[in-house]
């Protein structure tokens, strides 16, 4: 599980870096952290399910709801939180991922 989470952090950091490089065109949705967290809770019923450092000064968090919606956010050192990705069918797995398992 730790390896999968570490992989998720690396992917999140790459996605965030790519979105920051395109910020002048369509950039990610960003606001103060408290506003983003409140919006995810009130609009989608999402609560924080996992977190980790995406870089030494970036906090990556995954929010999800009981209905399966999920959001991936990155919070910068200045408190700005950006929505990096979102989707459906979130599930927390308790078993380790085998190397030959097909993607879900």
- Give the position of tokens 């790459």: 14
- Smallest Cα–Cα separation from 62: which of 48, 79, 81, 52? 48
pLDDT score at 54: 86
Contacts of 15 (CB under 8 A, 6+ apart): 72, 84, 85
Mean pLDDT confidence for 4-13: 48
What is the torsion angle, in degrees rounded to the nearest 10, for the CA atoms of residue 82, residue 59, residue 80 and residue 70? 30
Provide mean pLDDT across the span 83-90.
95
Element (H, E) at 86: strand 80-87
- Is the per-residue pLDDT at 49 higher than 60? yes
What pLDDT, on a 0 to 100 scale, did the predictor assign at position 7? Answer: 44
């Amino acid at each position: 599980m730790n390896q999968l989470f570490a992989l998720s952090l690396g992917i999140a950091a790459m996605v965030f870096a790519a979105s920051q490089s395109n910020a002048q065109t369509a950039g990610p949705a960003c606001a103060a952290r408290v506003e983003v967290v409140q919006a995810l809770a009130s609009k989608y019923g999402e609560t924080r399910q996992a977190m980790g450092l995406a870089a030494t000064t970036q906090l990556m968090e995954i929010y999800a709801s009981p209905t399966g919606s999920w959001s991936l956010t990155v919070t910068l050192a200045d408190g700005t939180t950006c929505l990096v990705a979102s989707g459906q069918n979130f599930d927390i797995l308790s078993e380790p991922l085998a190397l030959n398992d097909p993607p879900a």
